[in-house]
Amino acid sequence: MGERKVEDMSLSALFEQARKIHLTVTESGADQDLVKKGCEVLEKCEDMISKLGLFSSNETKDDISTNNLKYLLVPFYLAELTEKLAQEERIQILKISQAKLKEFISFCEAMELVPQEELEASVQGASNSFADRRALKIARFRRQRAAEAKLTEIKERKERRGRSTKAAALSTPVEVGEDDLLDDDGEEEREAWLTTISLAICKAFDLLEMLKKEEEMLSAIKEKQLKEGEKEFSQAILDDRTKKAEAWHRDAAARAQYTQPAAPITCATFAQDVIEGRANVSQAHDHKHQPMIFGPQSLIGGSLTSERERMAAQVFQPAYRMPTMSIEEAGLREMEMMNKWQERNAKMFEEANSAWYKDKPKMGPSEDDEDDDAAQEKARAWDDWKDDNPRGAGNKKLTPCG
């Protein structure tokens, strides 16, 4: 009965019903039944528009009548409602919605309704820089806000005109200027639909970018799942792992009642090995161990023999690079380096104290010993002469008081 009713409705009635459904779903997020009904009505609208031939590729926005302008929004409304469908094949839904958005944008481009900067950005594609994309988003947001403000202004102006017309009709019948009022209403309605289409273009570009990113993410996840295989563990494996952990804790609690406390463990990695069951408390520990292992691999004994065990061992692995040694081992290695450094410094100090410039020079036998003896005798004779002849002794006659 509902389908027969849709078949019997006119194009304008179908569009108004679809527009109300779109507004309800957008504002309140209605159930899937209403979304599917809206998609059905919009598909019927598309079929009727195609059969009636309302639009042509040779026309522009000035050639389209005011009553037919609103039907340009049918692909946009259908794309938004299709995106809200909840199905398992999400990628297929995204592709259908993107196809409708591209159809709407390309038809608006043919009607000269798309801004020039949007056309240039779509031609350049991914070659746009981050600054260009940011500027484009800001310009798009400003156009969207301006369109919303203009629609609000037109709505308020129409309400004021309706109230004034109603008040004037109650007081005095309007006969003069009635045609002018009708013309104003037509121009106002055309302006409202053009502004609505401009707002829809801004939303279509934003929604198209969002759907592309979502499709890329879902495709990457699906490809990764196909490469790595099944990621979910069966409930039996999870229960078995839980039983092993609970049994280990029960046995440890039972042993603690009858055993003597062991010496305190000072190595954090060795303590983790004891907790995970890779070592015993009684074992001697000389800070030689393997890196810490996280996840279910600590509960799986022996080597990994199957692909399922290898995948299970990778669960809860840290995303960062694991250390190759413990803090204690690093401290011991640093202490060994410090001892070597001190020994090297002590050796350098010893060599510096016994260097050649610190030793006394050793005088060897000279080849000019005879010359040195003669010079020494000459110096002694000169010293003796100076003792016998003091300074100024031969000049007494030259002095005034001599």
pLDDT at 340: 93
User: What pLDDT, in 10s, does the model give residues 375-394?
Assistant: 899 999 998 888 888 877 76
H, E, C per residue of 97-144: HHHHHHHHHHHHHHCCCCCHHHHHHHHHHHHCCHHHHHHHHHHHHHHH
Q: Which two tokens stand for residue 308?
A: 């399922």
Mean of pLDDT over the chain: 76
Distance CA 384, CA 394 (A): 17
Q: Which two tokens stand for residue 207?
A: 């929604």
pLDDT at 367: 55
Position 300 confidence tier, pLDDT thresholds 50, 70, 90: very low
Of 61, 60, 98, the C-alpha closest to 78 is 98
User: What pLDDT, in 10s, does the model give residues 303-313?
Assistant: 556 777 777 76
Query: Is the per-residue pLDDT at 176 higher than 50?
Result: no
Spell out a b/e string for 14-30, using b for 16 or more CB atoms within 10 Å of the CB, else e: bbebbbebbeebeeeee
User: What pLDDT, in 10s, does the model give residues 71-129?
Assistant: 888 889 888 888 888 877 888 888 888 888 888 888 888 888 888 888 777 776 655 67
Torsion (CA) 188, 194, 199, 200 in degrees, nearest 10: 130
Q: Tell me phi and psi for residue 34, to 5 degrees.
A: -70, -35
Distance CA 325, CA 302 (A): 23
The answer to whether residues 272 and 298 touch, using CB atoms and an 8 Å cutoff, is no
Distance CA 4, CA 221 (A): 43
pLDDT at 303: 59
Cβ neighbour number for residue 196 with a 10 Å cutoff: 19
Q: Which two tokens stand for residue 331?
A: 């401290």
Which of 53-57, 71-75, 179-183 is predicted least confidently?
Answer: 179-183
Query: Is the per-residue pLDDT at 182 higher than 60?
Result: no
User: What pLDDT, in 10s, does the model give residues 212-240?
Assistant: 888 888 888 888 777 665 545 456 676 77
